[in-house]
Structure 1
Amino acid sequence: MDVVPERIGRYRVIDRLATGGMAEIFLGRLDGPSGFQRLVVVKRALPHLARDPELVEMFLDEARTMSRLRHPNVVQVHELGEGGEHGLFLAMEYLEGESVEGLLRRLHRAGRRLDPELAVHIAAEACRGLQAAHELVDEGGVPLGVVHRDVSPQNLFVTYDGVVKVLDFGIAKAKNHASRTEPGTVRGKFAYMSPEQCLGEALDQRSDIFSLGIVLHELLTQQRLFKRGSHLAQMKAICEEPVPSPRREDIPIPAAVAEACMQALERDRDRRWPSCKALRAALLAAVRGGRVVAPDEALRDLMHDLFADRIADKRALAAQAEAGEVTMAVPRAEVDSDVELPDATATAPDASSLPARTSRSTWDRPGAWLMGGLALLAGGMLAVMRARAPSSPAAEVVAHVTLEVESTPAATVTLDGKPVGTTPLEIELERSEVGATLEIAAPGRVPHRQTVIPSVDQRLVVTLPVQEPAAVEGSGAPVEASSSPPSSRPTAPMAVPRALPAPSPVAPPTPSASPRVDLL
C-alpha cells in the first residue's frame, strides 16, 4: 500500500481523503510568502495508472474543460501540475460541505424530509453549473459540446454555507476530444445514466438533464429511483420500466414541480427539456411565491442543523492544517455510509398513473441485452457490440457474487491470507456457503478480521480506528469477529444481502479500540 506522500508538486500533503478506482484525493496546503496559506484538494492518478495513456488524456481533458469553466456553481480547478513519478495532478478548491448523497442519508437517519422548495433550489443551482459547462466554447468561439456524463448525488455538493457545486468533470467529454470513450462505450454510475448512455449511444447535454432528473426525483421522494439488484437490472429499468411520479399522497409537492421532473425523465430525448436553462426556469416558476423566500439561507441553516458534528470536526482540521500540525483524524468523505435510502418501486403508485411504455421496448433493441451483460463484466467501461440478441433470454444461474469493501483509503485487503487489493475494492467471488477470512489493515490503524460467506452480493464498510500510541503488547493483532449467532452478539458484524435496506436505527457507538463495520 502506498504511503501518503509529503508533497505533490508545490503542495504539502496533509492526509489522504479518499481513493477511487482510478484516482486518489488528498488534502493539501499551499504555503506562500509572509505566512500565506491555502488549503486545496489534490487529485492524482493511482500509482499503477499514473502513466496510463488513457488516464493521462482524461486528466488533460478535465484540465482543458475546467480551465475555461469559471462559475460559482462548479468546483474550481487551480492548477494542472506534474507530480514527478506519479504523473499529472489537479489542484482544486477546498470545500467544506457534503455531497447530496450525504445530505439524503443524514435526512433519512434523522427521520426528516427535505422541503420540496429546497430540493428544487438544489436542482436549479446544479442546472446553472451544468448550463455553464454545456455553453463552453473554444478560443475561436466554437461550442465545445461538453457533456458531464456523471451527474449523480455523489457529484453534486452542498457547502455548509448553502452553495451548490457540480463536481468531477473527470469523464466529461467535449465533442472535439475523440481520443477516448467512443460511441458504444459506457462510463458513469449505472443508476444515474440516461437511456442513451445505457445503450452506448452518442450523447449531448440532454443526457445530463435526464441524470439530473433522477437526482431531483430522489431529492423530492428521498427514495432511490432506479435501485435494483444488478447493473443490468438498473439499465433495463432506466430504458423500459414505468417511472413513478414524485408527487404522491404522502409526498405533497407542487404539481408543476412533478411535471418538470417527469419531463426531464422522458426517455425520448426530443421530449425532454432542451437545456438545463429551460429546466431551471420551469422549476423556479413552479415554486415562485412559495414559503421559502431565501432558499440559499434556508439551505445553509439546514446544513448547519444536520451536520453540526461534521462542521466542528472539519473546521478543527482546517485550523490544525493551517497551523502546520494535524493530530486529529481526517473526517471521512462519505457520511452515514451505513444508511441506505429505500427503493422507490416499493411505494410506487398504480401503473395507470404513470407514462405508458413505448410500443417497442428500448431494451429490445438489437444488442441491448448483450450490452448489459458486457457492462457487468467490464464494471462500467464496456464496448457495446451491436449484435442481435434474444429479446427475452432465459435467466441464468449466477455463479458468482460481488463483495464490495470500503474502509480507510488504500487499506490492504487479504482473503484467506492472499492479498486481493486495496480499498475501496470490489471482488468477484465464486458463490459458496463456505466462509472465507477477510482481513483489512492499514499502517497506524487497528486491523480488522472477519469471516464472510460469499452466498449473496455484499457491501462492507469498515472504519479502522487509529492505533493508540501506548497500546498494550499484542493489541496490533487483527480484531476477529465472533462466530456466535447474531442473536447473542447484537453489535457484531454480519453479512447481509446488499439489496436489503439498512436498518434505520443508529448503531450504538463502537469503542475506539475496535473497528467499526457497517454492512449495506
Structure 2
Amino acid sequence: MTTGSHTTRFGKYELQQRLGAGGMAVVHRARFTLAPGVSRSVVIKRVRDPYAQDPAFVKMFLNEARISMGLSHGNIVQVFDFGEVEGEFFLAMEWVDGQPLSHVLKRSKLKGLAHLPAPLAVGLVLEVCKGLHHAHTRRDEEGRPLGLVHRDVSPDNVLVSYEGEVKLSDFGIAKAQLSDRPETEAGVVRGKYIYLSPEQTRAEVLDARSDVYTTGVVLFELLTGRRPVEGDAHAVMERIAKGMLTPAHQYVPELDASLVALVSRALALRRDDRFTSAEDFQRALAEWLAYRAPLFPATTLRHLMGWLFEEELKLAGHEPRIPASFLRQVAIWTGEDGPGGLGEPATASSVYRALDSAYPEERATDVPLEAGAGGREPLPMWIWGALVAVVVGLFVWRAVVPEVLAPTLRKLPVVTNPPGAEVRWDGAPVGTTPALLEVDPGDATHQLELRFVGYKPWSTTVSESAVPERVQVALERLVPETPKSAPAQGQQEDSRSPTGARANKPAAPTPRGMKGFVYYWKDRRPEASASYLVGVDHLRGGNVMQAQSEFRRCLEVDAASVLCHLELGRMGARQGKAREAREHYQRYLDLEPQGDDAAEARKYLSGGRKGR
C-alpha cells in the first residue's frame, strides 16, 4: 500500500492514506466518487487475516456491520457501506476531520495541560453518553431491543473534530471482535484491558452498564491525566474485578467533590450501583455543568483543538482562529499566568466574561468614535469623563455595596455516595445531592436529613455558628435481615394494615401466614422494600399521592411484589378507581393465590368491592 499522493483502487473506493492498523483491521482514508467532479472522503476499515479466513467471525462481522448501519446519531460515526472486495471484507465509514481523543490527551500533555479542565472534560463525555444511549436503545424492525453494547469505549474510539464535534466510533465491530474469543487472545484486546469493566474481566454477559463503566474510566482519565488502575495486564484486571480503584481526588485534590462522586458512581463495582443507563449518566453530567459551570462557553472544545493542532491545521490550509480570551485561559490552566484551578466555577465564568474582548472586530461600527451621529460635533471630553464616572460609580454601588451590607452566607456542600439522595433541611426538601446549601449566620441549629430509596436515612444537626466545611456521607444500603423465627400469626394480626391506628405498630405491615414481612423481602431487591416502607410511612402520614408513587416505584423495581400490588389494589378501591383496583388485586391473586389477604382480593373482584 502506498502513501502520500498515490492511490490504490479498492472496489469503488480509492485508498489514499493508511491511517493505522490494529490486531483486527487496517484503516485507510479513501475517496468515493459520487459523480464526475463530486467526491467525498471516507474511512475504509479492512479486516485482517486470520479473522478474514474465519467463517464464524466473518458471519458475525457482517451481522454487526448491518446493525452499525442502522445507527444514525450525531455522536456516532456513521457506517454507510460494507461488503467484500476480492475476498477481503471491509466497512466504509464517515470521515471525521479531527483527532482521536487519545491524541488529544497526548498533545495536551506535551503543551503543558496535565489534564483537561473539568467543564471541558464533562462536556466531552456528555456527548459520548448521548451516542451510547442512542445505540443502547435501538430496536429492530419488529420493535425488539437489539441489546447493543459497545464493549470498547476508550480514547482511541472517541473522535474529536476540529470543529469540536464528538463522535464514538467502532460500534458493532468491537462486539464482533470479542465474541466467541477469549479476551486475552493476542491481538484482540491489545492494551484495552485498562478500560475493561469488572464484568468484562469475569467474562460475564454484558449490558449497557458496562459501557457506563468504561465511559467513567474515560472521564476519570480526562479529569486527572491518569487511569483509575495502572500496571501490567494481570494486576490491572485483578484490581478492576475487585473494585480496587485509585480515587480521582488522589491525583487532583482540588477536583470538585460532587464531580468525584459522579465518577465514583459510574465506576461502581456492582452494576446495580452505577447509573442505570448512559442517559442517566448524561443527565447527571448535564446537571453538574448547569450548576457548577453555567457560563462555560460551548466553543471551548473547538478552540482547544485549534490550539493543540495549530500546525497541522496550518499545513492543511485551515489556520485556526483562536480568541485571545482562550489563550489567556490556557495560560491559567497551564500555570503560566499564576495559580488557577482547572475548571472551577470562577475560572469557567472568567472564560465567558473574557469573550467580550475576544472578538473586537465583531463590535466595530462604521461610525468613528470621534464623530457624533449624523455628523454632529462630538461632545466635549469633560462630559464624556463625567458620564464614565457616573456609570462606574453606579456599577460599584450595585455590585460592591450590597455585598458589604448583606450578611455573609456560609456555603455547605453536601455530597453522598451514591449521589442523588434527597436533601431535607428542617424537614423541607431542598434538592438532591450533590447540593450546595446556604446557611444564614446566627445561633440557630438546623436538622439536615438525607434520604435515598434503598438506603438507610441519615441525619445530623447543623449549627449556624459552626457550619462544617463539608458534609460527605457514604449511605448504608438497606438490606433487611432474616429473623431467627417467623412471628406467630397472632402477633401479626393487628399490624398488617398500613392504615390501622394501633400505637405499637411495627414500621411496616407484616403479612400473616407463610411469610413474615422481613422474611418476605429477604430474597427480593432492597430498593423495592425501601419504596414499600416509604410508601407505608406516607400512608400513615396521610400523604396518599406520595404513597401511591412509592408503591408504583416499588413495582418498577420488582414487578412481582405482592405487597405493593395489594396496597395499590386497596388504594384504588378506596379512591373509586375500579379498573386500577381490579388490576392490582388480580395481580396479587396471581402471585399469592393462597395469600393471607386473598379473601379480601376475591371479595372485591367478585363484586363486593370492599378494599381496606
Band the TM-score falls in, shorter-chain normalisation: 0.5 to 0.7
Moved over 6 A (4+): 1-5, 353-356
Is the alpha carbon distance of 1:295 and 1:62 closer, same or farther for their aligned partners in structure 2, counting shifts above 3 Å? farther
Do residues 301 (structure 1) and 303 (structure 2) align?
Answer: yes
Query: Which shifted more, 110-119 or 139-148?
Result: 110-119
State the 1:101 CA deviation.
1.2
State the 1:49 CA deviation.
3.8
Does the Cα contact within 8 Å between 2:17 and 2:28 map onto a contact in 1?
A: yes
Counterpart amino acid of 2:166? V
Q: Please give the secondary structure, in 2, of the residue aligned with 1:196.
A: helix
Q: Please give the secondary structure, in 2, of the residue aligned with 1:247.
A: helix
Q: 2:44 aligns with which of 42, 45, 49?
A: 42
Other-structure match for 1:105? 106
Do residues 79 (structure 1) and 105 (structure 2) align?
Answer: no
Do residues 92 (structure 1) and 93 (structure 2) align?
Answer: yes
Query: Which shifted more, 279-288 or 304-313?
Result: 304-313
Does the Cα contact within 8 Å between 1:118 and 1:295 map onto a contact in 2?
A: no
Other-structure match for 1:6? 8
Does the Cα contact within 8 Å between 1:184 and 1:201 map onto a contact in 2?
A: no
Other-structure match for 1:206? 209
Does the Cα contact within 8 Å between 2:125 and 2:219 map onto a contact in 1?
A: yes
Q: 1:231 aligns with which of 214, 223, 233?
A: 233
Gaps of 5+ in 1: 317-352, 359-520
Counterpart amino acid of 1:181? S
Counterpart amino acid of 1:19? A
Does the Cα contact within 8 Å between 2:224 and 2:251 map onto a contact in 1?
A: no
Other-structure match for 1:62? 64
Is the alpha carbon distance of 1:181 and 1:303 closer, same or farther for their aligned partners in structure 2, counting shifts above 3 Å? same
Q: 1:269 aligns with which of 262, 268, 271?
A: 271
Is the alpha carbon distance of 1:162 and 1:181 closer, same or farther for their aligned partners in structure 2, counting shifts above 3 Å? same
Structure 2: distance between partners of 1:256 and 1:180 = 35
Is the alpha carbon distance of 1:355 and 1:21 closer, same or farther for their aligned partners in structure 2, counting shifts above 3 Å? farther
Structure 2: distance between partners of 1:56 and 1:285 = 43
Is the alpha carbon distance of 1:28 and 1:145 closer, same or farther for their aligned partners in structure 2, counting shifts above 3 Å? same
Q: Please give the secondary structure, in 2, of the residue aligned with 1:89.
A: strand
Is the alpha carbon distance of 1:154 and 1:10 closer, same or farther for their aligned partners in structure 2, counting shifts above 3 Å? same
Other-structure match for 1:167? 169
State the 1:275 CA deviation.
0.2
Structure 2: distance between partners of 1:271 and 1:18 = 38
Structure 1: distance between partners of 2:32 and 2:179 = 34
Is the alpha carbon distance of 1:10 and 1:171 closer, same or farther for their aligned partners in structure 2, counting shifts above 3 Å? closer
Structure 1: distance between partners of 2:274 and 2:297 = 26
Structure 2: distance between partners of 1:166 and 1:181 = 20
Q: Please give the secondary structure, in 1, of the residue aligned with 2:248.
A: coil
Normalising by structure 2, what TM-score?
Answer: 0.48
Q: Please give the secondary structure, in 1, of the residue aligned with 2:295.
A: coil
1:390-423 deviation digits (Å, cap 9, x = unpaired): xxxxxxxxxxxxxxxxxxxxxxxxxxxxxxxxxx
Does the Cα contact within 8 Å between 1:242 and 1:354 map onto a contact in 2?
A: no
Structure 1: distance between partners of 2:52 and 2:243 = 40
Other-structure match for 2:223? 220
Counterpart amino acid of 1:266? A
State the 1:313 CA deviation.
4.0
Normalising by structure 1, what TM-score?
Answer: 0.56
- Greater share of residues in helix: 2
Identity of aligned residues (%): 37
Q: Please give the secondary structure, in 2, of the residue aligned with 1:259.
A: helix
Structure 1: distance between partners of 2:23 and 2:181 = 22
State the 1:62 CA deviation.
3.0
Does the Cα contact within 8 Å between 1:12 and 1:28 map onto a contact in 2?
A: yes
Do residues 143 (structure 1) and 145 (structure 2) align?
Answer: yes
State the 1:50 CA deviation.
2.6
Query: Which shifted more, 55-64 or 116-125?
Result: 55-64
Other-structure match for 2:24? 22
Q: 1:126 aligns with which of 125, 128, 150?
A: 128
Q: Please give the secondary structure, in 2, of the residue aligned with 1:252.
A: coil
State the 1:181 CA deviation.
2.1
Other-structure match for 2:194? 191
Does the Cα contact within 8 Å between 1:12 and 1:30 map onto a contact in 2?
A: yes
Q: Please give the secondary structure, in 1, of the residue aligned with 2:142.
A: coil
| Matched ranges for 1:64-463 at <5 A | 64-86=66-88, 88-112=89-113, 113-173=115-175, 181-182=179-180, 188=189, 189-228=192-231, 230-240=232-242, 242-247=244-249, 250-291=252-293, 293=295, 295-313=297-315
State the 1:35 CA deviation.
0.5
Gaps of 5+ in 2: 319-471, 478-612
Does the Cα contact within 8 Å between 1:129 and 1:166 map onto a contact in 2?
A: yes
User: How many pairs are equivalent?
Assistant: 315
Question: Which of structures 1 and 2 has the larger relative contact order (alpha carbons within 8 angstroms, sep 6+)?
Answer: 1
Q: Please give the secondary structure, in 2, of the residue aligned with 1:232.
A: helix
